[in-house]
Amino acid sequence: MIKKLIDKLLGKPAATARKSAQGKRVEVPASEHAIDLGLVDDNAIRVVKTLSDAGYEAYIVGGAVRDLLVGLRPKDFDVATNATPEQVKGLFRRAFIIGRRFRIVHVVYGRGREHEVIEVSTFRAVMDASAAEQVSGNEKTSKSELAGKTHVVDAAGRVLRDNVWGPQIEDAARRDFTVNAMYYDPQRQIVVDYHGGIKDAKKKVLRMIGDPATRYREDPVRIIRVVRFAAKLGFTIEAKTKAPIREMASLLHSVPASRTFDEMIKLLQTGHALASIEELKKQGLAGGGQGFFPILDLVIENGAKHPDRAKFVNAALADTDRRVGEGKPVAPSFMLACMLWHDVLDGWQRLKKKGEAPFPALTQAVDAVFDARIGDISGRGKLGADMREIWLMQPRFERRTGNGPLTLVEQTRFRAGFDFLRLRADAGEIDPALATWWEEFSMADPEDRPHMIQDVRKTERRAPRQASAPAPAAAEDDEDDLPPAEGSSDAPRKRRRRRRKPAGPGSSSGTEAS
């Protein structure tokens, strides 16, 4: 009686409360869930079979099951199992344990650009906050305190480490939304559902498992994820799940910038980029100087002040959505280059007005934008390099004589640079005839391209010169104003001056932009 009185006053014991939040296991047969096995990745099935043949439980899990239920072909397939990371690694020829906050295994099939990664995670236990180790500060400043610990939270309740293995029922309870907490066995073709995920998927509702405020506090990125899923799937956010979002949005400032950046990229590559931005604005997470996504804030601010800029960015995002819908690859570098282009353009024009030569002015403007808008993310290798190349390629499209066009059209990133040029033309930023010429030039037979360059040279000779325009330098061709060719050294090139030879029959008098 005393125990019942204490429980009534203090609430259910922690263990009982956790059990009530874990749901009840329901196995749904193929006749009810109607998942098309043809949409399931062969390598994901192979991973599940290998684990089950070795005596372990294994299921396709999470977003892949959610997408299969609504008839979509998942982009990625994850597998969950009761095997530990070390046990998983021992079953596959090419498997790698990664992560510190959450240890998982990447099983790799294929090589080169065609390789595929199946992510395998071990069932995790529900975290008992009262038993978790607490550390002060954030993960970055608490590495020594984190060593050797399992469940670790900071003072704000954010989970810093979660590597306690547990049963599947607890693994389901610790996932975020009901539609992401289902497990599919492709061999028996059953879906294991603990929290009514199938029902919510059919109703197109996003519902948080457990107390939403607590779950957002554990991982603030869930605030971004609920927006992404709502935009991608066309789902509504359940009232209790949506209620704490604005109040708890400030927690996103504690998330490492690199992780927030990655989530922004995911938002814009769902195939519903424009819808994602609108959903962010609707939930008070973008625009208005919130600072969660500085790049998106800049785009929204520029779009409000300059409708022509909004037209350019919207065209780029719509093009990204189209490519995703057609199953074509999309490059985050291209999308980001479009979103930040007018920031680069403003700086470029400003420096040219101050007397800087065009290409040095452009490189300085690019560097300034990276420092101001992207920061340390700019060091992410290929992403930053591709963005720079797209931008630095733009003035080269203006030169259509000499050997420059022949060199440019053969570069690896030419197609991305040209697509960027085409968007600029569609937005009215440049003469559409320039984009049309480059499209025809890129599709022409190699032997016909020199003739197209000759035609441009003849047209430029016939064009009347402005009386006030300065005469071109007759004795020199300054190549320092041109971007370096792909693969060239970053070191400054020695300035070469060439005397112009008298034009004779068949001779070329145009400048070369190599």
Q: Which of 127, 234, 242 is nearest to 175 (CA)?
A: 127
User: Of 76, 185, 262, 367, which one is the catalytic site residue?
Assistant: 76
Q: How are the residues of the chain apportioned to helix, strand and coil, as percentages rounded to the nearest 5?
A: 55, 10, 35
User: Is there a catalytic annotation at residue 76?
Assistant: yes
Contact predicate 270/317, CB 8 Å: no
Beta-bridged to residue 145, according to DSSP, are none
User: Is there a catalytic annotation at residue 371?
Assistant: no
How far is Cα 320 from Cα 333, in angstroms, rounded to an integer?
Answer: 12
> To which H or E segment does residue 79 belong?
strand 78-81
How far is Cα 94 from Cα 294, in angstroms, rounded to an integer?
Answer: 39
Q: Which of 47, 37, 81 is nearest to 62 (CA)?
A: 81
User: Of 67, 176, 321, 386, which one is the catalytic site residue?
Assistant: 176
Contact predicate 485/514, CB 8 Å: yes
How far is Cα 314 from Cα 427, in angstroms, rounded to an integer?
Answer: 10
User: Is there a catalytic annotation at residue 176?
Assistant: yes
> Angle at the Cα of 311 (from 333 to 347), degrees rounded to 5?
60
Strands (E) across 124-266 are located at: 133-135, 152-154, 159-161, 182-185, 190-193, 205-206, 236-237
User: Of 78, 319, 343, 477, which one is the catalytic site residue?
Assistant: 78
Q: Are strands 133-135 and 78-81 parallel, antiparallel or unpaired?
A: unpaired
Contact predicate 166/49, CB 8 Å: no
Provide the annotated active-site residues: 76, 78, 176
